[in-house]
Amino acid sequence: MRVLSNKILSNHVFSFITFLMLVFIFNSCNIKIKKEINSTFEKVKRIEILAYEDRNQWTKEDNPDFLKLNYIQNGKLEINKKYLRNRISLNKEQIEILKNKLRKCETENWAAACYDPRHAILFYDKNDKIFGYIEMCFDCNGRRSSENFKVFSECALGLEETFKEFGVTYFGE
């Protein structure tokens, strides 16, 4: 009976230690994401949210390589206006809301294979150049980002309602 009791106790201890390790790992990841977001937002002069026609529907001339986002060239937005549905510059209050939403990082853990991106967040520096972006497909929970935003780009997938609150009206056909 005593052996069984010790075995049960050791299983509980092992479970508890595993739980603590998972909490530690999760918190470490969250801390890294929050630091990265804070660092990024210190550089931000302004932020724009774009809503556009699904990039799969663009002409080859306007979108020669679907896997590469090509409407940002040399820190400037170069998108054919015929695809653009919303272009919203965030005010200071909205920028703070966006920052806090990204820090919370509320996402769903699912994805589909479609990747029909219709939205992007563009981050501008003090020289009014785009220094980073996150492009997303709310339909499949997919995203692409500039290298400097990869750490927290997944956090943008939970922003559809926030985009609506900011005035984005286009979410597909």
pLDDT in tens, the chain (173 residues): 555 565 555 555 555 454 434 334 344 346 778 888 888 899 999 999 999 999 889 999 998 887 788 899 999 999 999 999 999 999 999 999 999 999 988 776 666 778 889 999 999 999 999 999 999 999 888 899 999 998 889 899 999 999 999 999 999 86
CA–CA separation, 84 vs 59, rounded Å?
14
DSSP 53: S
Smallest CA-to-CA distance from 142 within 77, 66, 71 is with 66
Does the predicted TM-score (pTM) go above 0.95?
A: no
CA–CA separation, 79 vs 3, rounded Å?
71
